[in-house]
Amino acid sequence: MIDLLLNSPPIKTVYNLAQDFSVDAFLVGGAVRDLQINASLGTDLDFLVTGNAKPIAQQFAETYKGSSFCLDKKRSCYRAITSHDGHLETADFVSLMEKNLAHNLMSRDFTINSIGLRLADIFEKKELTYIDPAQGLKDLRDNRIRVTTPTSLELDPVRILRAIRFARKYHFTLDASTAALIYKFKEKILKSPWERIRNEFFLILSQHDISESLSDLERHGILTLLIP
């Protein structure tokens, strides 16, 4: 696993940029999750930086002849879009809130997406030191989808669809408390932006076992909300 990270050009580039800007950078989210599940990094990378994320995102995009833009000015969140072998790849950069990594990780949707790796440890110590305040590594070992906090789904109900998608995609089971929260907050999905609902629903439909995914949505009382 360490070799996959050391030999990843985009991750090496972010580490070098962090050195140039004298900040710390952390790989978080789906890439760390997929590294554990199937020893891959995917094409969508998420980074937290202890300084201003904007110039790093801009420089990263320029390095790969791509483009960058602001996703959320309040959170200082920027996205770089690049192309590799005809496929679009994204890298998101977020400034660390009050330089509190654990707080930021605990604000994410599910425990399996709330694990971080410090790039300096990877490239300078040649070791993987996981930062895991929500015990996401244990949930990965137990094949379980669990919300990071009890308010996770209420704050962003579209995460309910993500929970169903992740459970089917990775053949994981929903934690009992998470399933209860899905039932409690499912109707709040309809108050979310329809483009986000559409995107998640289409991702669910794009999986191989569509009928089982639809059955999952129906079992949790979600399908009839989306398609009355």
Q: What is the pLDDT along the chain (228 residues), one digit of tens a residue?
A: 889 999 999 999 999 999 999 999 999 999 999 999 988 887 789 999 998 999 999 999 999 999 999 988 888 899 999 987 778 889 999 998 666 889 889 999 999 999 999 999 999 999 998 999 999 999 999 999 999 999 999 999 999 999 999 999 999 999 999 999 999 999 999 999 999 999 999 999 998 888 898 999 999 999 999 998
Q: Give me the phi and psi of 47, to 5 degrees please.
A: -130, 145
User: 18 to each of 12, 24, 103, 123, 173, how far by Cα in Å?
Assistant: 10, 6, 21, 12, 37
- Helical segments of the chain, H only: 2-6, 9-20, 30-38, 53-63, 101-106, 119-124, 136-141, 152-155, 159-170, 176-185, 194-205, 210-219, 223-226
**What are the tokens at 223?**
């399908």
Name the nearest CA neighbour of 118 among 69, 215, 49, 65: 49
CA gyration radius for the chain?
18
Identify the helix (H) or strand (E) that includes residue 130: strand 130-131
Residues forming beta bridges with residue 65, ordered by sequence position = none
